[in-house]
Each structure stands twice: as C-alpha cells, then as structure tokens.
Amino acid sequence: VVVAATDGSEGSQRAAHVAASIAQKNDSKLYVITVVRPPEGWWGICGAPPTATALAKALDQAQHSVLDLTIKDLDTEGIEVQTVEELGDPAATIIGFCSEVEADLLVIGRRGAGLIERFVMGSVSDRLAHYAHCPVLMIP
C-alpha cells in the first residue's frame, strides 16, 4: 500500500506522481489523502463565525479541488486508487491513516512552513518524517 499526501502544492503534486509510479511498479493500491486543518478564528476579531454548514461546505469544496487537481494528471492505469478527505491536524491524521491501512510507503512533498509555524510546531513534512510508522519518501 502506497499513500500520497497532498495539499495541492507543486511539491505534493510531484510526490503524487512518484507515488503512482511506485504503486504501478509494485502492483500496489494507492491512497491519495488530503487533510485540512479547520480554521480557528479566520473570520476575524469582529466578524461572526460561519455557520457549521457553510464551513463544512467550504472545506469540502477545498478538499475536492485539491484531490481533483492531484488525480487528474496521474497515470493510474492498472492500479486501484482511492482518495481520502480528512479534517484535523495534518501530520497526526496522515500518520494515523498510514497505520490504519498498514501503508508500506508514504510519499510526501517537501514544502517549508512559515518561519513562525515551523518554530512553534515544525513543518508537516518534518513531523511525518520523524513519526510515521512506515518509510517516508520526501520529494523536493
């Protein structure tokens, strides 16, 4: 089982292509997962939070866009591909998913987080490389 994690970035697109190629060569199932961290306070100090329905719809549309962008150009001939949409902390959710499906390989793009985010919590790719329970292939 090969898992490709995508956030729609150029690096994660390259990672998905590599993951699909590896899955083809090894006759493996490919999961393409995207995880969105629910925004906290993104509506501003004076604004009202969106309704739960509006927030869910916006997040769902964002995830579909990311997955559609990722899948549309992949060569998936001969392999089973399943897309997965999750909400939560990206690193923890991806690590949990890889354990759940007993992934043989996690393929991710290397993309730097902002300096503040990296200082406070580390980048998602760094956390995946350190804590995933399967080998991690990081694509520049």
pLDDT digits (tens, 9 = 90+) for 9-56: 888 899 999 999 999 999 999 999 988 776 655 545 555 555 556 555
110 neighbors 138 (Cβ within 8 angstroms): yes
For residue 127 the two structure tokens come to 């956390």
Residues 2/104, Cβ–Cβ less than 8 Å: yes
Which of these, 14, 114, 23, lies nearest to 69 by C-alpha position? 14
- The pTM assigned to this predicted structure is 0.80
